[in-house]
Chain A
Amino acid sequence: MNDIIESGNSARGFIAASYGSSPDTACLGILNECTKKITCRAFNVSRLSFTDIERIVGGTDDKLALEIKEFLAEDLKGCTFIQSIAVAPSVFLDTETSLPKVIILLASFGYCSVQASRLKHEDADKVFLDVEPAILKRDTPKIPEWLAFSYADTIAAYGEFRFGKRPTGPALAAVAALCVRSPGLYYFLTSGGEPQSSQDVVEVFRSPDRLKAIGLPADIAQIHSVVSGTEAYSLETTSLTKFNDVHRVPLVYSLASKKFSWLEPRHARKIALLTVCRDWSIQLTCTSMRSERFAISLLDGIGDDKPDEGEEDKQLRMIIKSNYEAAEIAQTCKSAFLLAIHRWLHEQKFLFNELELRLFTLAGIKNKNSDMVYNPLSMHADWAESITMSLLSED
Chain B
Amino acid sequence: MSSADDPRWTNEDIRDYLSLDEQDLYELIPGFLPEYEGTNFMTEGQRAAGKKAFEQRVNAIKKTLCHDWQLCSRLKDPNFDDTVKLVVMVGDVIAACSGGIPPFLAASIIAKIGIRNFCNCERPSS
Chain A contact residues: helix, strand, loop or mixed = helix
Residue of B nearest to A210 (CB): B38
Assembly CA distance A111 to B21 (angstroms): 47
Tell me the residues in window 257-281 of chain A with beta carbons closer than 8 Å to chain B beta carbons: 257-258, 265, 269
Is there a chain A Cβ closer than 8 Å to B69's Cβ? no
A258:B20 contact, CB within 8 angstroms: yes
Is there a chain A Cβ closer than 8 Å to B68's Cβ? no
A250:B43 contact, CB within 8 angstroms: no
B8:A200 contact, CB within 8 angstroms: no
Is there a chain B Cβ closer than 8 Å to A241's Cβ? no
Assembly CA distance A258 to B21 (angstroms): 9
Say yes or no: A199-B40 contact (C-beta < 8 A), given A247-B31, A249-B31. Answer: yes
Instruction: Please give the distance in Å from B87's CB to the nearest CB on chain A.
Output: 14
Chain B contact residues: helix, strand, loop or mixed = helix
B27:A250 contact, CB within 8 angstroms: yes
Instruction: Please give the distance in Å from B28's CB to the nearest CB on chain A.
Output: 4
Instruction: Number of B interface residues at 8 Å Cβ cutoff, please give it.
Output: 24
B24:A199 contact, CB within 8 angstroms: no
Is there a chain A Cβ closer than 8 Å to B46's Cβ? yes
Q: How large, as a class, is the contact surface on chain A?
A: 20 to 34
Among A197, A245, A247, A255, which residue has its beta carbon within 8 angstroms of that of B32? A247
A198:B28 contact, CB within 8 angstroms: yes
Assembly CA distance A198 to B28 (angstroms): 8
Say yes or no: A199-B39 contact (C-beta < 8 A), given A247-B8, A247-B31. Answer: yes
Instruction: Please give the distance in Å from A295's CB to the nearest CB on chain B.
Output: 27
Assembly CA distance A254 to B23 (angstroms): 11
- Of listed B13, B20, B28, B46, residue having the most chain A CB within 10 A: B28
Assembly CA distance A251 to B39 (angstroms): 18
Assembly CA distance A261 to B34 (angstroms): 30
Is there a chain B Cβ closer than 8 Å to A206's Cβ? yes
Number of A-B contacts (CB under 8 A): 62
Instruction: Please give the distance in Å from A119's CB to the nearest CB on chain B.
Output: 35
Tell me the residues in window 13-62 of chain B with beta carbons closer than 8 Å to chain A beta carbons: 13, 16-17, 19-21, 24-25, 27-28, 30-32, 36-43, 46
A199:B38 contact, CB within 8 angstroms: no
A199:B20 contact, CB within 8 angstroms: no
B24:A258 contact, CB within 8 angstroms: yes
Assembly CA distance A75 to B21 (angstroms): 48
> Which A residues are in CB contact (< 8 Å) with B41?
197, 199-200
Q: Which 4 A-B pairs have the closest CB atoms?
A: A250-B28, A202-B31, A250-B31, A199-B41
Chain A positions near chain B (C-beta within 8 angstroms): 194, 197-200, 202-203, 206, 210, 224, 226, 245, 247-251, 254-255, 257-258, 265, 269
Q: List 13 A-B contacts (CB under 8 A).
A: A194-B42, A197-B27, A197-B43, A198-B27, A198-B31, A199-B40, A199-B41, A206-B38, A250-B27, A250-B31, A255-B16, A255-B19, A258-B20
Q: A197-B42, A198-B27, A250-B28 are in contact. List 16 more A-B contacts (CB 8 A).
A: A194-B42, A197-B43, A198-B43, A198-B46, A199-B30, A203-B37, A210-B37, A210-B38, A247-B32, A248-B13, A250-B27, A250-B31, A251-B16, A254-B20, A254-B25, A255-B16
Chain B positions near chain A (C-beta within 8 angstroms): 8, 13, 16-17, 19-21, 24-25, 27-28, 30-32, 36-43, 46, 102
